Amino acid sequence: TWVLVGMGLSLALLLGALGLEAWRLRRDVLARAPGARLSWRLLKRLALLVLPPLGMLFIFSLRFVHGAVDGWFQVDVTAALDDSLTVARRAIDLSEQQALRRVRVQSRRIDAGEADGDDVALANVLDDLDALELVIYDAQRNISARASADPRFLVPSAPDDALWRAARTRGSASSIDRSGEALTILALVDMPDRDQVMLGRFVLDNEIATLAQAIEKHYYDYRQLAFLRGALKYTLSVVLSVVLVAAILFALYLAFALARGLVDPLRRLVEATRAVAQGDYRIEVPEITDDELGGLARAFNQMARELDEANQRLLRAAGDAEAGRRYFEGVLDRISSGVLSLDGAGRLRTSNGSAQEILGVDLSPWNGLPIERLGKADPPLLPLVQRLVEALAREPGDWREEVRIQRGQIEQRLLLRGARLPGGDGEVGGLVLVFEDEGEYARATRDSAWSEVARRLAHEIKNPLTPIQLAAERLRRKFLERLPEADREILDRSTHTIVAQVEALKAMVNAFSDYAR
């Protein structure tokens, strides 16, 4: 019983632990947690790997146990036990018949008057008959005479009713007395002439008695076992089934633990990858093991550190480019000539304060919009807009033109100096325009001043542009192929923008240098 209770408690604990693991896995799968679906796939494959061998082992064990139990009850064993019991009983029957024959001979002598039936006569024939006790009973089972050769039988015991009736009915009867320490034979013979019954007690051969008792005990034990044959097979089947269930539950629990141990490093890598994709380059994955997963974690940490360093360099380069842009815009805002820049699609990109003062229009709302819209919104500027559109359609090169703008009764003469900017990666280059509103004298004066400004501007701006461009190109070559897809697009777009803007600034600076010369 205690074994079954222990097995039941063990199964309950295993089932509880397995249920908890299954609930956690189901929660993670529904929440789409990193590694949950991989854990489920590993669990299914481990279950398919473990369950068939367990099932085969259970089937063969069950058949072996049933075969072994059936082998205990083979026909040969049963027949041998039956024959042994028959032989033992036959030997006892022969001993009983011999005892009856001795008592019958003595009773006939007494009936015939050849021997006396008193105590002395019975005592004299004890040794001749090899009897332990001789007793003569009358019809009422009162003792008429008796003699005993064994002190244990000084007080005779009356035969049981069944043996007495058998002797009176059939003339003789015998049985085995098991009441003492040793087995004895009771032989009763009816003496009808004297209306008496003579009882003789004889010792059963000790070897025969011992063998008979052993054979009888084994026989009845075997019969009891045969009676419990079905129950034994059922019990063994139940025990094997419980062991199978326990093995399956334990195997599944180990499968959960194994899947968790394999998936946890991958889950941490997935979480770290998501963090890197969101811009957190300082995250680290624990390097727990020395196997391939540990090597993967170390490689990921190395990549994250390099990405962090590259990101810092990229931020510094972007900061330098932004500082250069602000410096350039500051310089443009401090010159008296108007400056406009357009991209290859004809959209307004930059303008300085002098351009807005000369044209009399706030150009900040038009940044990023096609320049044609400015001509439609402000018709007096249409000649200027048309010149810009025509310049975008021309071949690259510097050009000078004069445009007149009529605003009511006031006419403005604008001297335009323009240059096409080179495009990057097959794109159409933009345009930079410098214009002034002045007469011949003012033009000469401003030409001189602008030449000096252009020379200084080219010297101050051109120096940091080349290191910025080289740093962006090195970042692109080193990390573009090593980043995830999302980060690759960000790096590609950022470095491309930096290089393109640097090229545009260099082209503009070169144009200013040419103008200064």
How crowded is residue 231: how many other Cβ atoms within 10 Å of its Cβ?
A: 9
pLDDT at 11: 67
Could you tell me how far CA 515 lies from the centroid of its own chain? 73
- 442, pLDDT greater than 60: no
The residue-averaged pLDDT of 37-64 equals 68
pLDDT tens-digit series, residues 379-412:
888 888 888 888 887 767 788 888 888 877 777 7
Residue 478 in tokens: 């080193």
The residue-averaged pLDDT of 120-146 equals 82
How crowded is residue 196: how many other Cβ atoms within 10 Å of its Cβ?
A: 20
Percent of the chain topping pLDDT 90: 0
pLDDT tens-digit series, residues 327-348:
777 776 777 778 888 888 888 8
pLDDT at 86: 67
- Residue 438 — left, alpha, or beta (φ > 0 → left; ψ -120 to 50 → alpha)? beta
Q: Which of 145, 179, 174, 152 is nearest to 162 (CA)?
A: 174
Most confident listed range (143-157, 404-418, 476-490):
404-418
Q: Which of 415, 412, 396, 280 is nearest to 344 (CA)?
A: 396
- 291, pLDDT greater than 50: yes
Distance CA 153, CA 269 (A): 97
- 514, pLDDT greater than 80: no
Q: Per CATH, is 76-226 categorized as 3.40.50?
A: no
The residue-averaged pLDDT of 105-114 equals 78
Distance CA 87, CA 95 (A): 12
The residue-averaged pLDDT of 176-192 equals 79
Residue 19 identity (one-letter amino acid): G
pLDDT at 110: 80
**Higher-confidence position of 70 and 249:** 249
Average pLDDT along the chain? 74
Taking the alpha carbons at both ends of the chain, their separation in whole angstroms is: 110
Residue 449 in tokens: 């001043």
- 499, pLDDT greater than 50: yes
Distance CA 450, CA 427 (A): 31
- 20, pLDDT greater than 70: yes
Q: Which CA distances in Å does 134 have to 72, 127, 168, 200?
A: 47, 11, 17, 5
How crowded is residue 400: how many other Cβ atoms within 10 Å of its Cβ?
A: 9
Residue 187 CB burial class (10 angstroms; 0-12, 13-18, ≥19): buried
What is the per-residue DSSP string for 71-125?
HHT-HHHHHHHHHHHHHHHHHHHHHHHHHHHHHHHHHHHHHHTSS--SHHHHHHH
- Domain map (residue ranges) of the chain: 2-72+228-271, 76-226, 315-516
Q: In whole angstroms, how large is the CA radius of gyration of the chain?
A: 61
Distance CA 321, CA 316 (A): 9
Distance CA 489, CA 497 (A): 12
Residue 203 CB burial class (10 angstroms; 0-12, 13-18, ≥19): middle
Most confident listed range (57-66, 73-82, 132-141, 300-309):
132-141
Q: Which of 361, 365, 364, 431 is nearest to 401 (CA)?
A: 431
pLDDT at 68: 62
Distance CA 420, CA 388 (A): 11
pLDDT at 512: 67
Q: What angle do CA 299, 302, 307 make, to 5 degrees?
A: 125
Query: Can you tell me which residue has the tokens 């082209």?
Result: 507
Q: Per CATH, is 315-516 categorized as 3.40.50.700?
A: no
The angle, 0 to 180 degrees and rounded to 10, between the axes of the packed helices 229-277 and 292-333 is: 20
The residue-averaged pLDDT of 344-356 equals 83
Secondary element (H or E) of residue 345 = none
pLDDT at 423: 66
HSE-up (13 A, CA, CB side) for residue 305: 7
pLDDT at 75: 46
Q: Which of 236, 230, 184, 229 is nearest to 205 (CA)?
A: 184
Residue 441: pLDDT band (50, 70, 90) is very low
Residue 185 CB burial class (10 angstroms; 0-12, 13-18, ≥19): buried
Q: Which CA distances in Å does 374 have to 362, 370, 402, 487?
A: 11, 8, 19, 38
Pairing of strands 410-420, 196-203: unpaired
- 414, pLDDT greater than 80: yes
Phi then psi for 241, rounded to 5 degrees? -65, -40
Topology match between the domains 76-226 and 315-516 = yes
**Higher-confidence position of 199 and 62:** 199
